[in-house]
Amino acid sequence: KVLSSPHMYVMLLKCPSPPLALTHFFSYLNLLTILILSRGKCGLSNCITRYLVAMAAADLSVIVSEVILKQIGDIYLDTSYLFYTPVCSFIHVISAAAVDSAVWLTVAFTFDRFVALCCQKLKQKYCTEKTASVVIGTLSALLCLENIPFYFTFHRYRNIHNLPWGCLVKPNLLYHAAWITFYWLEQILVPLFPFVLILLLNALTVRHILVASRVRTRLRGSSSSKSIILLFTISLSFILLWVTSVAHYIQYRVKGFYKSRGFFNPLRMFEEAGFMLQLLSCCTNTAIYSVTQTKFREELKNLIKICVVSYHGSVKCSHLHPFKSVPVVVIRNVKTFNYCFN
């Protein structure tokens, strides 16, 4: 989020950022995930696929806005247009909206699976591709609107060539009742309420599966068991990677604001560790899909093979034709052929 407390304003500090190569790697992984899931050949229902594609897109937007534009931009692009005050304010808005969307889409997916497993009467009406699209669109629109006030909380740090430069929170907002109320609501919406909601929904789902032995027998070995495994792994990953931020939030509310903001302050390190794990949560879903979904793993292998073969073909062709590089794809098996041309 933009602030760690309503009593503190943002300073233009250069903090360590993730390596560029690692950031690019996770960005490509999310792009591959979107591509593979969009083809609909992973053995999942259209409803689940909609949610997973939306979650991957939200994760990618977090990497672009929060990691690349904000964290890496602070170090490598500190003299660029990214520090122009209107642009800087807009980046803060889209970054907050991206984080909120990634969190609440996980909640929406968890609730969808809860309905599918525990509410058989509601399942036919709610667990559909159309409903998933409506939920995703509504959540995205509401969360974008909810973060718009952040744009108006900043003013320039200084003027450079008569242009407003940098983003500082307006001091008169820090003790304004409306701002403090908005800040509290924002912190409850993310991360506290989603964290509790995911814990509750998963607990109810586990209880339903364990109590209803007939349901458990029917699900054993069926395609539904894959969605259960997928649900629990995604939820567990979210809980583990967000628990530090939730603990810091509770600790701050109980103990209050800490004055020392040095990098070696234990509470500051605790806060930064939680922030790092938040960003990591946007990079784990591809690994989860690869481990839990056999068909997704096969599609990913085929796509990587195509990329590698295309790259080597391009290199070989460039040696033969120094002024022209044409990718050459060698089709080695039927699966690769089908993936290329289906």
Asked which of 101-105, 181-185, 226-230 is least confident by mean pLDDT, the reply is 226-230
Which token pair is 258? Answer: 């800490």
Looking at the fold, whether 198 and 288 belong to one and the same domain comes out as yes
Same domain for 269 and 136? yes
Tell me the pTM: 0.81
Domain boundary, last residue among 292, 312, 333: 292
Q: What is the DSSP string of 150-218?
A: GGGGEE-SEEETTEEES-EE-GGGTT-HHHHHHHHHHHIIIIIHHHHHHHHHHHHHHHHHHH-HHHHHH
Residue in the structure block whose two tokens are 């089709």: 331
Q: Is the pLDDT of residue 188 over 80?
A: yes
* Together in a domain, 124 and 135: yes
Residues 235 and 339 in one domain: no
Q: What is the CA radius of gyration of the chain?
A: 23
Query: The domain containing residue 328 runs over which residues?
Result: 293-342
On whether residue 7 sits in a domain, the answer given is no
Are 250 and 297 found together in one domain? no
Does any domain span residue 287? Answer: yes
The rounded distance, in Å, linking the Cα atoms of 290 and 27 is: 16
Is residue 1 assigned to a domain?
Answer: no
Nearest to 167 by CA among 175, 176, 158: 158
Q: Which tokens hold the place of 139?
A: 């959540």
The answer to whether residue 3 sits within a structural domain is no
How far apart (Å, rounded) are the C-alpha atoms in residues 98 and 104?
Answer: 10
Higher pLDDT, 5 or 183: 183
> Mean per-residue pLDDT for 115-128?
91
Q: How far, in Å, are 46, 135, 303, 323 from residue 122 at the CA level? A: 17, 15, 37, 62
Instruction: Summarize pLDDT for 102-114 with one digit per residue, the tens.
Output: 999 999 999 999 9
> What confidence tier does 331 reach under pLDDT thresholds 50, 70, 90?
very low
Pair 284, 297 in one domain? no
Q: How many domains does the chain have?
A: 2
Alpha-carbon dihedral 48, 49, 51, 57, rounded to 10 degrees: 160
Asked which of 12-26, 100-114, 128-142, 185-199 is least confident by mean pLDDT, the reply is 12-26
Residue 148 inside a domain? The answer is yes
Domain with 280 in it: what CATH number? Answer: 1.20.1070.10
Phi–psi pair at 250, nearest 5 degrees: -65, -40
Whether 63 is in a domain gets the answer: yes
Residue 200 above 80 pLDDT?
yes
Verify that 333 and 209 share a domain, yes or no.
no
Q: Are residues 288 and 333 in the same domain?
A: no
In a domain, 329, yes or no: yes
68 plus 135 within the same structural domain: yes
The residues that bridge with 164 in the sheet, in sequence order, are: 159
Residues in the chain: 342
pLDDT score recorded for residue 147: 94
d(CA 98, CA 143): 9
Within this chain, do residues 270 and 301 fall inside the same structural domain, yes or no?
no
The residue-averaged pLDDT of 137-148 equals 96
Q: Please tell me whether residues 337 and 193 are part of one structural domain.
A: no
- Domain assignment present for residue 192? The answer is yes
| pLDDT, mean over the chain | 79
Same domain, 133 and 241: yes
Residue 267 CA to residue 273 CA, distance in Å, equals: 10
Decide if 166 contacts 157 (C-beta within 8 A). yes
